[in-house]
Structures are given as structure tokens and as C-alpha cells.
Amino acid sequence: MGHSLENLKPLIRCPVCQKKYDPSKVVLLSEDDRKTVLHIACESCGISSLVFVSLGKMGAVSFGMLTDLGRDEVRSFYGGEPVSADDALAAHSFLKGFRGGAKECFENKC
């Protein structure tokens, strides 16, 4: 497939300080053909976030959601309950109405 995590990593920035993440800090939580969920702890501002990356006709679109779950917590959280329907619905409804790119998304702090 042409959209491995390696291709997505350059898209991913901290939603708070816009710093690019060190790829080694990115924790892959779930991945399927169309959606990837990552957990990232920013070393610059200390904020943890979940990043949803969805693939559509216009290419990859990503957005971040702040979380207070740490890296270890989020692993067990996702291990116990794979991406919930609510998560998927939230991501879907957001992406459906969103027309910008990842940069605009993060600038709007959405």
C-alpha cells in the first residue's frame, strides 16, 4: 500500500506548538486501510495528543485531539477497547465538513 505510516509522519505536527514530532515518539494505536490513529507526546510543550489520519480523495488529512492520557495509559486504553464507534463517528463527522488541510486544521485549534 502507498500510505504507510512512514508517509504520514511528515504530516504530523503538535496541535499546540506546531513542532514536528520525532517519528520515534509516535505510537501507532490503530491502523487500517483508511484511518490511522497515533498517540504523540510533544517534547517541546509537553502536550499529549491523539492524531487521526484519514485517507480520502484529496490525500491524507489529519487532525489532532488533545488528551491527558500518557503513552503507557493510552496503550492499555486502546488495547482494551479498540477505536470506539464514537471515535470513528467524531473523526468522520469532522472530516466530512472540513475542507482545509492539516495546517489549517491545527491553526484553528479544532
Distance CA 61, CA 70 (A): 24
C-beta of 82: minimal distance to Zn ion in Å?
A: 27
Residues of this chain that bind Zn ion (CB under 5 A)? 14, 16-17, 42, 44-45
Nearest to Zn ion of 14, 91 (CB atom): 14
Q: Which residue has the cell 472540513?
A: 98
Distance CA 62, CA 76 (A): 23
Give the 3-state secondary structure of residue 80.
helix
C-beta of 49: minimal distance to Zn ion in Å?
A: 8
Nearest to Zn ion of 41, 55 (CB atom): 41
C-beta of 40: minimal distance to Zn ion in Å?
A: 9
Nearest to Zn ion of 55, 106 (CB atom): 106
Give the 3-state secondary structure of residue 54.
strand
Nearest to Zn ion of 22, 59 (CB atom): 22
Strand order in 26-31's β-sheet?
Answer: 26-31, 35-41, 48-56, 59-67
C-beta of 19: minimal distance to Zn ion in Å?
A: 5
